[in-house]
Structure 1
Amino acid sequence: MTAAHPEDARIRALYAAFLDGWNRRSGAAVAAGFADDGDIIGFDGSHHRGRLSIAADLRQVFGSHQTAAYVGIVRSVRPMAPGVAVLLAHAGMIPPGENDFDPQLHTVHTLVAVDEGGGRWRISLLQATPAAWHQHPDAREALTEELRGLLAPQ
């Protein structure tokens, strides 16, 4: 069993800031958490490289159409090497104007974080992989229900 990362809270906060920036539809806020040479690979396979490019490209995306909002669940944060960690999360998306998840948009987020020094963690890579689970539709439904539980009033 792999041990949890000693900087677990900081890396989880990095992911939360990514989701927040996306949901506010701010290319600058999304890009702020990335390393200068960071990469983001979208759900559709689109690839944006470098913090400035990520900010500009997402500003264009957010300006050209409404995007769905993310709700994510971190599954693990673990060390890969000194100064490198990987975060795995499942996320669902709520389409614009809707109040429920579209299970066809569920995704697995893989985030590679690097310590740039002094405990300043940045995203080196964030990849969104469709969570289609073709052979396991029960897993997709279970994730949908788990995500809905995060939206329910407490």
Structure 2
Amino acid sequence: MQTNKEKAVEEVYNNLIAAWNNRDAEKMADLFTENGESIGFDGSQSIGREEIFSHLHPIFKDHPTAPFISKVKDIRFLTEETVILRAIAGMIPPGEEDIRSEMNTHHTLVLVEQDDEWKIELFQNTPAQFHGRPELVHEMTNELRTLL
């Protein structure tokens, strides 16, 4: 059973996914601390809410981004105010009906509690290609398909 703190942390992650899926750069950036950092699937790095917004806004404006299907795998508290959340995610590109396995990713977040509110200090979106181990790609994709 999840604690209230775990639920609150998972809610921040769910809000991050919802903001991405709704193509809302402002809501996404607002989930970060003032100096929070986002590292994208392609390795691009944005530091601070303003830079995160400035990076995402044109992407959402000019590209039909694929929505995430995601699953939280672990929430681990380092201190009472610092937590690591790990999740897996896949994407269904616009016009398609299934998860495209080459877009599978690991999401790693470090969140901190500030003034009774959880904020993202770091969000890293790492491709999950499992080079030389295609069975792990299929396993992750099938786990995510159960959420469809």
* TM-score interval (norm. to shorter): over 0.9
Q: Which residue number in structure 1 is paired with residue 134 of structure 2? A: 137
Corresponding residue pairs, total: 147
CA contact (8 A) 1:28 1:55 kept: yes
CA contact (8 A) 1:5 1:77 kept: no
Q: Which amino acid aligns with 1:115?
A: E
Structure 2: runs of 5 or more not aligned: none
Q: Deviation above 6 Å: which 4+ runs of structure 1?
A: none
Q: Secondary structure of 2:72's partner?
A: strand
- 1:42 aligned to 2:76? no
Structure 1: runs of 5 or more not aligned: none
Deviation at 1:27, TM superposition (A): 0.3
Q: Distance in 2 between matches of 1:32 and 1:98?
A: 30
Q: Which residue number in structure 1 is paired with residue 144 of structure 2? A: 147
Deviation at 1:81, TM superposition (A): 2.5
1:111 to 109, 112, 120: 109
Judged with a 3 Å threshold, the aligned counterparts in structure 2 of structure 1 residues 81 and 23 are, in CA distance, closer, same or farther, namely same
Q: Which residue number in structure 2 is paired with residue 62 of structure 1? A: 60
Q: Secondary structure of 1:150's partner?
A: coil
- 1:127 aligned to 2:124? yes
Judged with a 3 Å threshold, the aligned counterparts in structure 2 of structure 1 residues 5 and 112 are, in CA distance, closer, same or farther, namely farther
